[in-house]
Structure 1
């Protein structure tokens, strides 16, 4: 069973609106079409693809563990971060500074690619990968 490309990742944020604002206003994702799923949330698009799903408060259903109710795990385990391909490192750096978002940068040894690392409002790590200059 070969896998295809990553379709999306889902976050159950502590503050739905603040997290939507972060991903849209800081990282530039777009709030897009979402089916009427019966609970609040957003599908945030990157390049026309619904990449980040945000879940609002939900009622428990069979087979679904809802944050704040019965949970199977204490946290998301070893999940560390999600990465996006990015362009215009100078523009991104300026945008982050204007929005007072803390970040760190590094250059990838040997390839010269550049990276920016930051965290969303709930501490989910975000990596932005820029091609070598």
Structure 2
């Protein structure tokens, strides 16, 4: 990492839900969350506004290992430096969808890693066009190339207030 101190802001928390509709109703009633558009990931998800942040629910089977899916996400001041540190530490998970960097239909970038205790976390960047894509050892995968997106899906954003993203 360079001499500049890395800064991070919480973006969202993602938790598994065995009954997506029931969980959505629960968080709507208890916390006042409202549903926001999500892209099509090829499996059921529900993104909800929770103040200035998001709560993401993802449908899982009743016997799913919740630690496989549960994660928090941050945006950072230097996405490429974070990638380099994670790569050097071997923090990227091999052989799962979380092993790859993803470009969402909005042009936002996601990368997933595991901390030393095995917890999954995500780092997001609001605009892939701002980054030198040759910095990544393996090119990011485009969600839209793998799962059909509607016009509405393409409007989904990880950054509720894009102008305030790190």
TM-score (ref. length: structure 2): 0.33
Give the helix-richer structure, 1 or 2: 2
Larger Rg: 1
TM-score (ref. length: structure 1): 0.40
User: Relative CO higher for 1 or 2, CA cutoff 8 Å, sep ≥ 6?
Assistant: 2
